[in-house]
Amino acid sequence: MRQLRGLSSFVNMVKASDIANPGVRLDDFLGEMKTRKDHGLPIQGDLVTLSQAGVRVYTAHGAKGLEFHSVIIPFCLNNKNWPARPIPEKIRMPSDLFKTRAHIRDKEAQKTLALQDETRLFYVAMTRAKSNLIFTASPTEDLVSSLYLTRLDIPKEGPKISDEEKILEESLEVTDKKDPFVGTDAVLKDMVNNMSLNPTRLNAYITCKRKFLYNDLLKLPGAKKKSLVFGNCVHKALEETYREFMAAKKFPSFKFFLDAFKKELKFQGVDKTDERDCLKKAEAVRGWFETAAKNPVMPVGLERKLVITVGDNIIFTGKYDKVEFEDEKNGIVRILDYKTGKPDEHLKKIDKITDLSSSDCDGYLRQLVCYRLLFEKDRKESRGMRAHSGALVFIEPVESDLRKLGYEKGRHVTKRVEITDPMVQEVEELIKKVWGQVKALDFGKLPCRDAKVCGMCDFDPICWK
């Protein structure tokens, strides 16, 4: 979805450039793109609102259970879409897997059953409409209109020639409303129904409700951050390193870690400059890695995605980095979360504010509590084990002297955090509260622009232009 919106932004920019300068040459346009890249200027336009003229696109299967005032079923062509041309099975499945086919060997009879399945699906698509139902088809010499349209015996209407210039102008229009999401409640509720919460989204909502809307619900495009790419590569390399440790019972070398890092970096698809910077930064991890390699702890669990329900069937998901025994005899474990950013601000805040619902509470603390909730509520994962603590493992060293807190400049820190039962209960109530606000479409902006929060946000120009 995010990539699709990014592509749409690029297409709209091309359209706008052509309207502003009809004689623009391709090399001039590519030169402008290079200049933007060299100076870090994003492709950015006005935010198009969901209340503008438009449609929602569903598959027939995806539309089951939904109803709309008007429904358009396009491409009604025989042996193309409605009904689709039967595709031979490349890998033949056992017929007893399909109740309707179990005792049917005749190919013609199987074709009839397939057509009946298509007909039922077409009926599902048709019955989504409450008032208006429109079919479209563009027959050619090789393709004829769907046999379903012939059976329905509905009158045909010829095509209406549209003004291409007018359509182009309308596609570039934006709302003049101060809040671009006025009048979009029905659409947003549909989108909320298809999402779930996780620790990162919980933190995002508490920090800024509007950013949650843009980033987590609407998935608006943003720049690919080098810090995020580096973090993803470190996490993947550590996962591969510990999996090798579990298999070989011998902790791998830094070269093994670095090779896994490079492989993931290629997968991330960054440009040469970012690739070089990430590799340089990865070399700086050597000091932390070699210290950790002296006394490695065998994982109990590694990079597991957990799914639980909270309250009234609220889906809450999360993926922890590593679980290891703290007291194996009594089944006590601790949950580790590896962090690749600078630790200083987090170390200052984490013991200072423990109210998990406060926006001033450190998000890393809230995440650890969420991981204990996820781990212990997933009975299959925890198998009776209890997580009494968590640990934030900072890959980067402390940047400045924090002597009052007991941390010296240049030191690598693993911050142990006790996670109590009341903290888990508090975060569970917080999840219920936040989900209630999300369902109520409470996505208001901050009262005023916060330089610290908004200055690093991709959507700052949208909120405060």
> What is the location of CATH 3.90.320.10 in the chain?
197-465
**Res 41: pLDDT:** 67
Residue 387, pLDDT above cutoff 50: yes
What's the pLDDT at 51? 46
Q: What is the pLDDT of residues 203-227, one digit of tens each?
A: 999 999 999 998 898 888 777 788 8
Q: Chain-wide mean pLDDT for the chain?
A: 83
Mean pLDDT to the nearest integer, 113-138: 85
pLDDT of 64 above 50: yes
pLDDT at 197 over 60: yes
Domain with residues 68-164, CATH architecture: 2-Layer Sandwich (3.30)
With helix as H, strand as E and coil as C, how does the chain read? CHHHHHHHHHHHHHHHHHHHCCCCCHHHHHHHHHHHHHCCCCCCCCCCCCCCCCCCCCCCCCCCCCCEEEEEECCCECCCCCCCCCCCCCCCCCHHHCCCCCCCCCHHHHHHHHHHHHHHHHHHHHCCEEEEEEECCCCCCCCCECHHHHHHCCCCCCCCCCCHHHHHHHHCCCCCCCCCCCCCHHHHHHHHHCCCECHHHHHHHHHCHHHHHHHHHCCCCCCCCHHHHHHHHHHHHHHHHHHHHHHHCCCCCHHHHHHHHHHHHHHHCCCHHHHHHHHHHHHCCHHHHHHHHHCCCCCCEECCEEEEEECCCEEEEEECCEEEEEEHHHCEEEEEEEECCCCHHHHHHCCCCCCCCCCCCCHHHHHHHHHHHHHHHCHHHHCCCEEEEEEEEECCCCCCCEHHHCECCCCCCEEEEECCHHHHHHHHHHHHHHHHHHHCCCCCCCCCCCHHHHCCCCCHHHHHC
* pLDDT tops 70 at residue 187: yes
Q: pTM surpassing 0.75?
A: no
For residue 204, the model assigns a pLDDT of 94
CATH 3.30.160.800 residue ranges for the chain = 68-164
Model confidence pLDDT, tens digit, residues 153-185: 777 776 666 666 676 666 555 555 556 666 677
In CATH terms, 197-465 corresponds, of 3.40.50.2000, 3.40.50.150, 3.40.50.1400, 3.90.320.10, to 3.90.320.10
* pLDDT tens string 91-125: 666 656 555 554 555 667 767 777 788 888 888 88
Q: Give pLDDT tens digits for 365-377.
A: 999 999 999 999 9
